[in-house]
Amino acid sequence: MHNPFAESVDESTDWELIEQSKNGSQSAIEKLILRHQAWIYNIAIRMVFHPQDAEEVTQEVLLKAITRLSTFHGESKFRTWLYRITANHVLNMKRRGGEKETQTFSSYADAINGTPDLDLPDPNTVPVEVPLLVEEAKISCTTGMLMCLDRKQRLIFVLAEILGVSDKVGSEILDMSPDNFRQSLSRSRRDLYQFMNNQCGLVNANNPCRCSKKTKGFIDAGHVDPHNMTFASPRVTKIRSIAGDTYAQIEEGLVQQYAALFREHPFLEPKDQITWLRNVLEQPNIEGTLHLN
C-alpha cells in the first residue's frame, strides 16, 4: 500500500493524477483520493472514535482538498499540502463522536473501574469468536484513552507513535519546528503512559484491570457490539505492517512497549466512499467550484 508518510516518498503518481485532475479528469480525482482516503480515515477515527463520525470527517477533508486542488502549485510536497489540510480540519472541527463529552484520564479511570469484572460471554450466545470480542474490548479501551489527550496532543501522538511519522515529516504537516514536534510528542507520551502505568494491566501486571474481565461489561454497557465490531477482525491489517518502514525510532524499554500496543491497532479501511465522491463530482456547479480547466 502507498504510504504517504515515508521519510522519502515518491509522489510522481500523485503529480500525474493532480495534473489530470486539473484538466478535468474525474477518474484521476478518484484515483488520487483513493491513494490517501484510508490514511485520512485512520487519523479521523482516532480523533473522534466513532466510525460514522470519522467517515464524515474524512469526507469533509476530502471535499476541502478537491475544491482547493487548483491552488496547489508544487511549492511543497503534495503530502505536506494534503495532510496540513487534514490537520487543520481535525484541530478546528466541531466536537463530535467521542469528543461530545469531555473525557479526562481521571474520569476515564472511573469509568473503567466502574465496569464490573465478569466472566467471558458463553461462546454459544455471541456471533463471533470470544477472543475477537476481547480484542475489540482491548482496542476500544486503548483508543478511548486517546480521547483524554487534548486535540493537538492526540493528533501528534497518532501521527508519530501510531502511524510512525518522523519529527521532520510531522513538523512539516503541523507547520512547527521538529524540536517543538518532539517536545509535544514527549508530553503526549508522558500523560498517556503515566495513566496506563497506573491503570492498565497490559503494561503493568500489578494493575488488576484485565481486558478479558471487562469484555462482558463493555458489551453490557454498549461499548462493544458483537454484531458490529469496529476494530477487531480476523482479516485486519496491523498498522505496524503498513507503516513499519517509517516508524519513528523511540526510546528503548517501557516507551517502546507502550507504543507497540497502539501499533498493534488495525489499519482500518473506510466504507466505500466512491459513490459519495462521484455524487459530489457530478454536481452541476462542481467544475466551477474545482476551478478545473
If you average pLDDT over every residue of the chain, what do you get?
A: 89
Range(s) of the domain holding residue 204:
12-290
**Could you tell me the three cell numbers for 37?**
482516503
pLDDT confidence tier of residue 289, bands split at 50, 70 and 90: low
* Tally of structural domains, the chain: 1
pLDDT exceeds 60 at position 286: no
Q: Helix (H) and strand (E) counts for the chain? A: 14, 2
Confirm if 218 and 226 have CB atoms less than 8 A apart: no
DSSP letter for each residue of 153-169:
HHHHHIIIIIS---HHH
Question: Domain for residue 5, yes or no?
Answer: no
pLDDT class for 285, splitting at 50, 70, 90?
Answer: low
Residues 134-149: what's their mean pLDDT?
97
Does 110 score more than 80 pLDDT? yes
| 3, part of any domain | no
pLDDT at position 246 is 45
Residues 94 and 45: their CA atoms lie apart, in Å, by 14
In sequence order, the 6+-apart residues with CB closer than 8 A to the CB of 260 are: 240
Determine contact, residues 21/29, Cβ cutoff 8 Å.
yes
In a domain, 286, yes or no: yes
Helix 105-113, helix 178-199: angle, nearest 10? 30
Confidence of residue 85 (pLDDT cuts 50, 70, 90): very high
Q: Does a structural domain hold residue 7?
A: no
Of residues 159, 34, 10, 146, the one with CA closest to residue 84: 159
User: Does residue 144 lie within any of the structural domains?
Assistant: yes
Measured N-to-C along each axis, helices 78-92 and 51-67 cross at an angle, to the nearest 10 degrees, of 130
Indicate the burial class of 74 (C-beta count within 10 angstroms; 0-12, 13-18, 19 or more).
exposed
* Per-residue cell: 82: 494534503
Tens digits of residue pLDDT in 23-61: 989 899 999 999 999 999 999 999 999 999 999 999 999
Asked whether residue 268 is assigned to any structural domain, the reply reads: yes
What are the grid coordinates assigned to 74, written together? 508544487
Confidence (pLDDT) at 35: 92
Contacts of 12 by beta carbon, 8 Å cutoff, 6+ apart: none
- Per-residue burial over 86-118, b = 16 or more CB atoms within 10 Å of its CB, e = otherwise: bbebbeebeebbbbeeebebeebbeebeebeee
Domain presence at residue 52? yes
286 CB burial (10 A radius; 0-12, 13-18, 19+): middle
pLDDT of 113 reads 97
Task: Judge whether 54 lies within some domain.
Answer: yes
pLDDT of residue 224: 96
Q: Residue 67 is part of a domain; what is its CATH number?
A: 1.20.140.160
